[in-house]
Structure 1
């Protein structure tokens, strides 16, 4: 039996994605070339996400359509808000399965080079002032991505602490009100600022942030490592290691799609352990 390629969409995952995609009716007069199947195009988008290949080099023999077709479909689905809804849906399924740990969360960031520039870029302080962007991520206590944001590489980490907390969607899946806030949030010295500590507390979240000017060994690393692992998983997708997109919304679409894939894998793992 042939092994399934990682960028090929499983039947169970496709059943979740298909209802989220906008429906396009074929024109009655002058219908033109038949529209390529959405599932195949999604496989082409995932192929680019996994391999980092340029759109124009997408192999035609795979049957996923041209790179331009995949790019246009990604643009249209991004404008329709498909990826945030998919991420929120998978988080709800993890919540229903009891696989989310809201007792704590962790935040961190990672800088990447932005080869072509564009919005949400800036001189990187860790790459000789070359143009770059920064991925900001918040995870639950088990390393499940709750939200991710994109900024210029010169943006200070602490300025994204509150936007990350606000970016966590209302997660349903259990009886009662949707959950949006963890009980605690852990961060490194880059987030050390008393003003932001007070603002985090005002949201009902207890901040545990390492302080500058003190010796290493605060003990927070035993909780923070999950977000570092999640960033490594994000950058396992080669398209996210370097920002090739001038349009920030397209790169953010790749980010959100990668988070959804990580959530889907975590859900499958949880279900396999359960049964």
Structure 2
């Protein structure tokens, strides 16, 4: 085992959730060698063609990551690993923090066709597909933005990819709606934390109404302009927003989760041309964090 490869303990937890066959093509080759190659590229961000020969053909490693990203395999594995952690009581549902980060996009990520090419073996649109491919131009330049919901242990529960210039507040509901941790004992997946914590960029009437409707407590500071507008409207502006400074200290958990994700160089800089492949890359980084 070399640096960055999956350990025996990690592989025992990961391997049961991976596909076992491909139909007419026969059985897969050794999953572990190929998956370690995907892990190597995730950690280092090297071009696929520059993968060390110990992982076999670079095209085999690339194609498997692309297919599993398109078919939602990495997303399903992430849900399964989260379910294992929830059964062991290793998910802190007391506070779920929401934050975002901007990832600079390499120029190799540009140039995807507007209409995505058909993915061989798939009859539906790839998971994570976007017509804009999640690319845009913000003050930081050509970039994508990752919106993350993290639990108290600084591990991602769900994420959303948008172009770099998109705002944070409109994506809060979407990222919280993607929190779905299956219950291995049966029943509906767990989707609702006890409290949501976010910075002032997520303060909006729409978000607060959504959280109240789902009976989720929230700790989101109110910006000065929203306070002034509420006071200006008088009684029609509503009551002041409650805010717990002690709970707000836990907002750093989302920032630490983002930092952990961006320790993987293929996440910190986007090299993937297609949004669904980049979605699979982030899901794979989240899986590695959950396996630790």
**Class of the TM-score when normalised by the shorter of the 2 chains:** 0.7 to 0.9
Distance apart, 1:173 and its partner CA: 4.0
Distance apart, 1:114 and its partner CA: 1.3
Counterpart for residue 53 of structure 1:
46
Counterpart for residue 154 of structure 2:
143
The TM-score with structure 2 as length reference comes to 0.79
Counterpart for residue 58 of structure 2:
67
**Count of equivalent residues:** 251
Structure 2 residue 271 is the aligned partner of structure 1 residue 244? yes
Aligned positions of 1:15-26 closer than 5 A: 15=12, 16-25=14-23
The TM-score with structure 1 as length reference comes to 0.83
Aligned positions of 1:81-92 closer than 5 A: 81-92=72-83
Whole-Å separation in 1 of the counterparts to 2:37 and 2:208: 43
**Greater shift in the superposed pair: 167-176 or 142-151:** 167-176
Q: Give me the CA root mean square deviation.
A: 2.4
Distance apart, 1:94 and its partner CA: 1.2
SS at match of 1:262: helix
Distance apart, 1:91 and its partner CA: 1.1
Whole-Å separation in 2 of the counterparts to 1:87 and 1:219: 31
Deviations 1:125-179 (A, max 9, x none): 3x1xx21100110011222211111111111101110011111113314576432
Counterpart for residue 31 of structure 1:
none
Counterpart for residue 86 of structure 2:
95
SS at match of 2:157: strand
Distance 1:145 1:76, change over 3 A: same
Distance 1:173 1:95, change over 3 A: farther
SS at match of 2:279: helix
Counterpart for residue 120 of structure 1:
134
Whole-Å separation in 2 of the counterparts to 1:20 and 1:220: 38
Give ranges in structure 1 of 5+ residues lacking alignment.
29-33, 266-275
Deviations 1:96-149 (A, max 9, x none): 111111121100000011123351111113x1xx21100110011222211111
